Chains A and B, each alone.
Chain A
Amino acid sequence: DAGVIQSPRHEVTEMGQEVTLRCKPISGHNSLFWYRQTMMRGLELLIYFNNNVPIDDSGMPEDRFSAKMPNASFSTLKIQPSEPRDSAVYFCASSLQGGAEPQHFGDGTRLSIL
């Protein structure tokens, strides 16, 4: 069974550039989550979707960040323009119905902004 698939696994780019992270959730899962992990703040939720609709984006740090889920099998997290402080590991996760149900995480995208 395929798990949550994220791409790319690593991204190194210069500040000011646009960065797009991609996620394919587990088939049949209705909820999708984007997290960011840093040393300072740990694992923090950025945004989550239920049935492709954004439910809570209060964790999105600022307007430079945007996320979309055009269909049930694909989501993107975009940073434009990127800044060095955006450097982190970004995880995508999905679950069957959201709520307290255990989430299945992808292996993350390690993002470095120079």
Chain B
Amino acid sequence: DQQVKQNSPSLSVQEGRISILNCDYTNSMFDYFLWYKKYPAEGPTFLISISSIKDKNEDGRFTVFLNKSAKHLSLHIVPSQPGDSAVYFCAAFSREGAQKLVFGQGTRLTINP
């Protein structure tokens, strides 16, 4: 029962273009969402988050959009840089119930020079 799904295992984008990573969730009780970035042989590092009371949060080149009615969020990276090549994990949290992060399977982003 995968409550958080990242349906694209991999994505390849040209340097300078926009990267869009997608994430869907099934549990309507989730009210906080986070994106993590992971390089090989390292642990995930926090990138950006969004509360369910917002539909957009921006931090430099990174913007996260939330569509609650569709239970969908996306991470936009503009412009994409070679150092953005990594695995990106979407995670969701509910302040009700279990109160623990649920992660998606991850999307491997490759930025081509």
The answer to the question of A43 belonging to the interface, with a C-beta cut-off of 8 Å to chain B, is: yes
A:42-100 near B, CB below 8 Å: 42-45, 48, 56, 58, 91, 93, 98-100
- Encode B1-42 as 1/0 by CB contact (under 8 A) with A: 000000000000000000000000000000010101000011
Interface size class, chain B: 20 to 34
B:54-113 near A, CB below 8 Å: 89, 93, 95, 98-106
Q: How many interface residues does A have (CB within 8 Å)?
A: 21
**Are the CB atoms of B95 and A102 closer together than 8 Å?**
no
The answer to the question of A20 belonging to the interface, with a C-beta cut-off of 8 Å to chain B, is: no
B residues adjacent to A (C-beta < 8 A)? 32, 34, 36, 41-46, 49, 89, 93, 95, 98-106
13 A-B interface contacts by CB (under 8 A): A33-B101, A42-B104, A42-B106, A44-B103, A45-B102, A93-B43, A100-B34, A100-B49, A100-B95, A102-B49, A103-B46, A104-B46, A108-B42
